[in-house]
A and B are shown apart, each in its own frame.
Chain A
Amino acid sequence: MNPCQFDDARRGFLKKSASLAVLYFTPSVLVKTFAADAIVPMPIAKEKLQFILNGKSVSFEIDARTTVLNLLREQIGYTGTKKGCEMGQCGACTIHVNGKRLKSCTQLALNHQNNQITTIEGLAKGDQLHPMQAAFLKHDAFQCGYCTSGQIMSAVACVREGKAGSRASIQAYMDTNICRCGAYQNIVDAIDEVAKSGAKI
Chain B
Amino acid sequence: MNNMHFDENNTNYFKLDFADERVDGADKVTGKAKYTAEYNMSNMAYAVFVTSTIAKGTIKNIDTAKALASPGVLDVIYYANCPSVPGYIKNEWRGHKVLYDNQVRFFGQPIALIVADSLENANAAIRLVRAEYESQAFETNFDLARKDATKLKGTVAYKRGIENKFKEAPVFVEAEYAIPAEVHLPMEMHATIEFWEGEDKVTLYDKTQGPKSTQSTVARTFGLSDKNVRVIAENVGGGFGSGLRSWANVPAAVMASKKLNRPVKLVLTRPQMFTLVGYRPQSWQKIGIGADASGRFVGITHEAISGTSRYEDFREGIVNVSKFLYACDNVDTKYSMLPLDLSTPVWMRGPGEATGSYGLESAIDELSYKLKMDPIELRIKNFTTVNPENKLPFSDINLKDCYAYGKDKIGWKNRPTVPGSLKENGMLIGYGMANGVFGAGKGAATVRALLNQEGKLTLECAVSDMGPGTTTSMTKIAASAMQMPIEKVKFKLGDSDLPPGPSQGGSGTTSTVGSAVDLACTTLKQNLKDLAIKYAPAFATLKSDALEVKNEMVVALADANIKIAIVDLLQFIPDKKIDLTIASSGKTAEQLKFTSNSFSSHYVKVAVNPKDGTIKILQVVTTGDAGKIISPKTARSQMIGGVVGGIGMALTEQLEMDHQSGQIINASFGAYHVPLHSQIPPTDVWFVDKPDVNMNSIGAKGIGEIALIGFAAAVSNAVYNATGIRVRDLPITPAKLGFKAKV
**Do A and B share a complex?**
yes
Chain A residues at the B interface, C-beta cutoff of 8 Å: 23-24, 36-37, 40-44, 63, 65-66, 70, 73-74, 77-87, 89-90, 92, 119-121, 123-124, 129, 133-134, 136-138, 140, 142-149, 152, 168, 170-172, 174-175, 177-188
Give Cα distance in the complex from A92 to B188, angstroms. 9
Complex contact B677–A83 (CB within 8 A) = no
Residues of A within 8 A of B121 (CB): 44, 63
Write the chain B residue with the least CB distance to A143: B467
For the complex, is B185 an interface residue (Cβ under 8 Å from A)?
Answer: yes
- Partner of A80 from B25, B30, B118 at Cβ < 8 Å: B30
Complex contact A168–B678 (CB within 8 A) = yes
- Partner of B21 from A119, A140, A184 at Cβ < 8 Å: A140
Q: How many residues of B contact A (CB 8 A)?
A: 72
Residues of B within 8 A of A147 (CB): 187
Residues of B within 8 A of A146 (CB): 35, 186-188, 237-238
Give Cα distance in the complex from A174 to B69, angstroms. 44
Complex contact A144–B466 (CB within 8 A) = yes
| Besides A89-B270, A144-B467, A145-B33, 6 new A-B residue pairs in contact (Cβ under 8 A), listed by A number | A36-B127, A137-B26, A143-B468, A178-B187, A181-B641, A182-B675
Complex contact B637–A37 (CB within 8 A) = no
Give Cα distance in the complex from A54 to B34, angstroms. 19
Residues of A within 8 A of B38 (CB): 73, 79
For the complex, is B664 an interface residue (Cβ under 8 Å from A)?
Answer: no
Residues of A within 8 A of B645 (CB): 182
Give Cα distance in the complex from A80 to B21, angstroms. 20
Complex contact A77–B40 (CB within 8 A) = yes
Q: Report if A92-B66 is in contact (Cβ < 8 Å); known contacts: A120-B31, A129-B26.
A: no
- Partner of A178 from B25, B27, B669 at Cβ < 8 Å: B669
Residues of A within 8 A of B668 (CB): 85, 87, 89
For the complex, is B198 an interface residue (Cβ under 8 Å from A)?
Answer: no
User: What is the predominant secondary structure among interface residues of chain A facing chain B?
Assistant: loop
Chain B residues at the A interface, C-beta cutoff of 8 Å: 21-22, 24-35, 37-38, 40, 66, 69-71, 118-121, 123-125, 127-130, 185-189, 235-240, 267, 269-270, 466-469, 633-634, 636-638, 640-645, 668-670, 674-678, 680, 682-683
Give Cα distance in the complex from A86 to B123, angstroms. 13
Most A CB contacts (10 A, CB to CB) among B21, B130, B641 go to B641
Give Cα distance in the complex from A14 to B504, angstroms. 49
CB distance from A128 to the nearest CB of B (A): 11
Complex contact B633–A140 (CB within 8 A) = yes
Give Cα distance in the complex from A140 to B638, angstroms. 10
Give Cα distance in the complex from A74 to B467, angstroms. 24
Write the chain B residue with the least CB distance to A81: B31
Complex contact A90–B669 (CB within 8 A) = yes
Complex contact A149–B637 (CB within 8 A) = no
Complex contact A37–B130 (CB within 8 A) = yes
Write the chain A residue with the least CB distance to B466: A144
Give Cα distance in the complex from A83 to B269, angstroms. 10
- Partner of B677 from A81, A82, A133, A171 at Cβ < 8 Å: A171
Give Cα distance in the complex from A152 to B29, angstroms. 8
Residues of B within 8 A of A86 (CB): 269-270
Q: Report if A181-B677 is in contact (Cβ < 8 Å); known contacts: A80-B30, A89-B668, A90-B187.
A: no
- Partner of A182 from B40, B129, B644 at Cβ < 8 Å: B644
Write the chain B residue with the least CB distance to A182: B644
Give Cα distance in the complex from A90 to B66, angstroms. 34
13 contacts between A and B (CB under 8 A): A37-B66, A40-B70, A44-B71, A65-B120, A86-B269, A89-B669, A92-B187, A142-B637, A144-B235, A145-B237, A180-B238, A181-B187, A181-B644
Write the chain A residue with the least CB distance to B32: A80
Residues of A within 8 A of B267 (CB): 83
Residues of A within 8 A of B675 (CB): 182, 184
Complex contact A145–B235 (CB within 8 A) = yes
- Partner of B186 from A148, A180, A188 at Cβ < 8 Å: A180
CB distance from A164 to the nearest CB of B (A): 12
Residues of A within 8 A of B35 (CB): 79, 82, 146
Complex contact A143–B128 (CB within 8 A) = no
Q: Report if A181-B120 is in contact (Cβ < 8 Å); known contacts: A79-B34, A90-B669, A146-B186.
A: no
Complex contact B22–A188 (CB within 8 A) = no
Complex contact B31–A149 (CB within 8 A) = yes
Residues of A within 8 A of B633 (CB): 140
CB distance from A81 to the nearest CB of B (A): 7
Complex contact B677–A180 (CB within 8 A) = no
Complex contact A182–B640 (CB within 8 A) = yes
Give Cα distance in the complex from A17 to B112, angstroms. 29
Q: Report if A171-B30 is in contact (Cβ < 8 Å); known contacts: A40-B66, A87-B270, A178-B187.
A: no
Q: Report if A144-B31 is in contact (Cβ < 8 Å); known contacts: A63-B118, A182-B643.
A: no
Complex contact A144–B237 (CB within 8 A) = yes
Residues of A within 8 A of B643 (CB): 182
- Partner of A74 from B119, B185, B638 at Cβ < 8 Å: B119
- Partner of A143 from B40, B70, B120, B469 at Cβ < 8 Å: B469
Most A CB contacts (10 A, CB to CB) among B24, B127, B674, B683 go to B127
